[in-house]
Structure 1
Amino acid sequence: MGKPTGFMESGRQPPERRPAAERKGDYQEFYKPWGETEAKEQGSRCMDCAVPFCHMGCPLGNVIPEFNHKVYLGDWEGALKTLHSTNNFPEFTGRVCPAPCEASCVLSINSDPVTIEYIEKEIVDRGYENGWIKAMPPATRNGKKVAVVGSGPSGLAAAQQLNRAGHLVTVFERNGYIGGLLALGIPEFKLEKSVVQRRVDLMAEEGVTFLTDTNVGVDFPVDRLLSEFDAVCIAIGSTQARELDVPGRELEGVHLAMEYLSQQNRVLAGEQIPDGERIEAEGKRVVILGGGDTGADCLGTAIR
C-alpha cells in the first residue's frame, strides 16, 4: 500500500471525456489519456485490503492491489508485468470490460470505487508507448500443431498461450477480420480496431498463423482439420440472437443489434455495402429495445 491515506485524500476521477459535440462527429475513443499525476493519485486510492474483493471479483483474477501500488510508485513497467501475469489482453479489457472488480471494491461501501479499469488501460497503453510489449516467440518448437477455431478474445488468448508453449498454432476465422466481436461487434468509439490489430500483428510476429474467410466445416472440412492437426480448440462465439416473438418483428426496418453494429464496423473498415442491404439511421426516428451495453452501442452508432 503506497499511501495509507490516499483513499481519504483523493476522490475518484476518471479520465476526461472528449466533448460530446466532438465525439459524435467521429468514431474515436471517448477518453483522453491521464497525466502522470492523475494516474498516480488514482492508484493511491487503493486500500490494499487484507481480503481483496476486487481480485476475487475479476474473472481473470488480476492482482489489482499490486499493480495499483506500482502505479502509485511510478513503476509502470512493473505494473505491466503484474497485469500481464493474469491478463493476456489488458488493452481490450481496459476498454470494454464491465469492471466487476470495481463493483467488488471495498472502498465502494462508503465512497466511489478505485478507477481500476482506467488504471489497467493506462498501464497497457504506456507499455506499448514505451516499447515494453514485444513479441515473445517460444525459444523452441515441439512440432505439435494446434488449430484454434474462432478468433474472438478466447480464441486469441488460447492461441497466444499455446504458441508460447511451443506449439504451431493456426487460427481459423470465418469472417474477413480477426477478432470476433472485438472486430465486428464493438463500435470503434469504444474499441478502436487499430488496438485489436496491434495485438494480432504482435501474435503473428510470435509465429501464430491466421486464416480469415475460412469457415471450418464449410470450406475447410472437419476431417482435414482432424488429420492435419494434433489438437483442435473450439473457440467459436454464440451467434444466435435472442428474438422477440411480437407482432411487427417481420416488418421492414426492424433489425437485430449485431446486424447493425457489424455492418457499420465493416463500413468503417472500407467495405462497400450494396444500397439495398445498407442499414441507415440518418434522418430516421430510431427505437432501441434494450438498455444494456449493446443498446448503448447501437445508440452511439445511430447518433453518428
Structure 2
Amino acid sequence: MGKATGFMDYPREKPKDRNPLTRLSDWREYSTPFSDEKLSIQGARCMDCATPFCHMGMELNRVTTGCPINNLIPEWNDLVYRGRWKEALDRLTKTNNFPEFTGRVCPAPCEGSCTVAISDPAVSIKNIERTIIDKGFENGWITPRIPESRTGKKIAIIGSGPAGLASADQLNQAGHSVTVYERADRAGGLLTYGIPNMKLEKDVVARRIKLLTQEGIDFVTNTEIGKDISAEELQEQYDAVILCTGAQKQRDLEIEGRGAAGIHLAMDYLTTSTKSLLDSNLEDGQFLDTKGKDVIVIGGGDTGADCVATALRQECRSVVQFGKHPILPANRTTDNMWPAYPNVFSLEYAYEEAEAKFGADPRQYSIQTTKIVADENGNVKELHTISMEKIKDENGIYIFKEIPGTEKVWPAQFVFIAIGFEGTEQPLLNQFGVETVNQKIDAVYGDYKTNVEGVFAAGDARRGQSLIVWAINEGREAAREVDRYLMGASVLP
C-alpha cells in the first residue's frame, strides 16, 4: 500500500448525509458523496494486511462475512489513494457488474471483516466503491461494450433484478443473444420497485438498463411468463433459460383481526409508492397514502425501515416499528467477534429522520402483537401488544416469553407487515416442472441446474431472501454454467 501507516494516521470518516428534516421534503437520495481529497485519505487507511478478509465472501453462523463477489478491495483502495481513478474503476468492474447499486444499498459486510475493524473503525469501503463508479459515469469512462461476434445461442432470463441483470451482462459479453423478461412495466426488479428512491434513485437503475440495452440485451417488460408466454413456448424458442424471479412471496401475519382494512404487506406499500412517484410524481393517487395517519410497521428489518421512511415523507401523524428481538449492543459481543458481520446498534437513515421529526427513535424492541382491532366500519383502529423476554430454555435454546403486565394498546390507521419472505412464487415453477425445497428452487450452489434440462436458477429464487451482492454472485456464476452448458467450456470468470 502507498501509505503503510494510513490506518494509524487517519480516522474513519463518512460523508455527511443531507439534513434529516430537509430530505423529508423530497424523495432524492439521502446520502452525499465525499470529495476526492477525503476519499484519498480514506483509501490510505486500507492496511497492507497479509490476508485481506474484506473480499473473501463466506457465511459465518449463517450471516454474510466479507464480499460475496470477491471485490479486489485493497487494490482499488490503493489506486484511489494515489488518485488513479480510472484504474480503480477497471479493478472494481472486474468482479462487480453493478457497483452503483452495491455502493448505495449493500450493508457492506466487507467493512465488518476489514482487518482495521479488529480494533478500530473499518475502512470506508462502501463510500469509496460508490464514488469510483459514479466518477466512471461522470467522466465518460463507461461506454457500451459491444461483443465482437455472436455465438448463435439464445438465452431467456426471467426476472430483471440483480441476479437476472448480472447473468444477462455476463452471457451477452460471451457473445450469446440474451432476452430478459420482466412482468412489471419497468426493468430492474426490486432495484426499481422494492428499494425506495431515497436509497437508490431510479435514474441510476435506468442508466444501467439503457447501457445493457445498448450492448445488445433485449428487455421485454409487461410480460409474465406462464400467462403471456407459456414455459413450453419459452423452452422451444431458447437454448437455455435462467429463472431469476426472486423470493417475492411475502410472509403474512396470522393473527386475530388480520382482515381489517388498512393492513398491508410491506412490499405492496413500497411498490405502489415508487410506481406512483415514477409515473406521476405521486399525483395519480395510485398508492397507499398515510398522510395524517398513525402508522405501525411490524418487523424490525430493512424493509420495515423503508416503510418508516416512506410514511415520513407522506407526512404521517406518527410512526412506530415493532421488532421481536432485543435492542442490539453498542459493541460486538463475545459470540460476534471479527470477522463476522457486526450485530451492533446503528441509527439508519429512516430512524434518524423519525427522531428528527418526532423526537424519538420509532423502534420498539422485544414486542409482540397479540391482536388487531377494527372500528365499526371494519378499518383498523388499534393494535394490542405485549413485551417479550428472550431467554434460554432448559435445552439451551433461545425462546421468547411474554412478560405479564406489559400489555399496551397502540392507535393505528395503517399497518404494514414486514416480517420477511417465504420463498419464490410457485405457479411459474410448476409450469416449468422445476422441483423446489422449502419454497425455493432446488438447484445446487455453484451448479445452478434445475431438474429440467436447460433450465437454471440463480439469486433469491434459489437461495431465498438475501443480499444484492449474493444475487450478483449467483447471476455471474449461473452465467458461467450456462455458457459451459451451451459451449462445452466457458470463457466467463
Question: TM-score scaled by structure 2?
Answer: 0.60
Map 1:2-41; keep pairs closer than 5 Å.
2-41=2-41
The amino acid of 2:37's aligned partner reads T
Which has a greater percent of strand? 2
CA distance in 1, matches of 2:283, 2:193: 15
- Residue aligning to 1:134: 143
Unaligned runs of 5+ in 2: 57-65, 314-493
SS at match of 1:61: coil
CA distance in 2, matches of 1:267, 1:48: 48
The amino acid of 2:99's aligned partner reads P
Q: CA deviation at 1:278?
A: 3.4
- Residue aligning to 2:131: 122
Note if contact 2:33-2:127 (Cα within 8 Å) is conserved in structure 1. Answer: no
* Residue 234 of structure 2 corresponds to residue 238 of structure 1: no
- Residue aligning to 2:287: 278
Q: CA deviation at 1:273?
A: 8.8
* Residue 204 of structure 2 corresponds to residue 187 of structure 1: no
* Residue 296 of structure 2 corresponds to residue 269 of structure 1: no
Q: How many pairs are equivalent?
A: 303
CA distance in 2, matches of 1:217, 1:48: 52
CA distance in 1, matches of 2:199, 2:185: 21
Map 1:63-82; keep pairs closer than 5 Å.
63-82=72-91
CA distance in 1, matches of 2:291, 2:33: 31
* Residue 298 of structure 2 corresponds to residue 289 of structure 1: yes
Note if contact 2:197-2:274 (Cα within 8 Å) is conserved in structure 1. Answer: yes
- Residue aligning to 2:350: none
SS at match of 1:286: strand
The amino acid of 2:216's aligned partner reads G
Question: TM-score scaled by structure 1?
Answer: 0.97
Describe the superposition over 1:3-52 as per-residue Cα deviations: whole angstroms up to 9, x where unpaired: 01111111111112111121101111112221111010110000031110
CA distance in 1, matches of 2:209, 2:92: 19
* Residue 168 of structure 2 corresponds to residue 159 of structure 1: yes
- Residue aligning to 1:59: 68
The amino acid of 2:39's aligned partner reads A
- Residue aligning to 1:204: 213
Q: Of 119, 143, 151, which aligns to 2:152?
A: 143
Q: CA deviation at 1:230?
A: 1.1
After superposing on structure 2, the runs of 4+ consecutive aligned residues of structure 1 that deviate more than 3 Å are: 271-275
Q: CA deviation at 1:111?
A: 0.9
The amino acid of 1:30's aligned partner reads Y
CA distance in 1, matches of 2:6, 2:39: 12
The amino acid of 1:256's aligned partner reads L
- Residue aligning to 1:46: 46
The amino acid of 2:95's aligned partner reads T
The amino acid of 1:187's aligned partner reads P
* Residue 213 of structure 2 corresponds to residue 215 of structure 1: no
CA distance in 1, matches of 2:300, 2:223: 34
Note if contact 2:182-2:222 (Cα within 8 Å) is conserved in structure 1. Answer: yes
- Residue aligning to 2:92: 83
- Residue aligning to 2:328: none
Between 264-273 and 217-226, the greater mean CA deviation after superposition:
264-273
CA distance in 2, matches of 1:203, 1:125: 17
Radius of gyration: which is bigger?
2
CA distance in 2, matches of 1:290, 1:11: 35
- Residue aligning to 1:254: 263
Q: CA deviation at 1:263?
A: 0.4
CA distance in 2, matches of 1:70, 1:98: 23
The amino acid of 2:78's aligned partner reads H
Describe the superposition over 1:149-191 as per-residue Cα deviations: whole angstroms up to 9, x where unpaired: 1100000000011111001110000111100000000000000
The amino acid of 1:44's aligned partner reads A
Unaligned runs of 5+ in 1: none
Cα 1:110–1:219 change in 2 (3 A) is same
Q: CA deviation at 1:274?
A: 7.5
Note if contact 2:276-2:284 (Cα within 8 Å) is conserved in structure 1. Answer: no
CA distance in 2, matches of 1:248, 1:99: 39
- Residue aligning to 2:183: 174
Identity of aligned residues (%): 51
SS at match of 2:297: coil
Q: CA deviation at 1:73?
A: 0.4
The amino acid of 2:222's aligned partner reads D
CA distance in 2, matches of 1:24, 1:267: 17
Describe the superposition over 1:89-126 as per-residue Cα deviations: whole angstroms up to 9, x where unpaired: 00000000011001111111211001111110000000
CA distance in 2, matches of 1:156, 1:273: 31
CA RMSD of aligned residues (A): 1.3
- Residue aligning to 1:97: 106
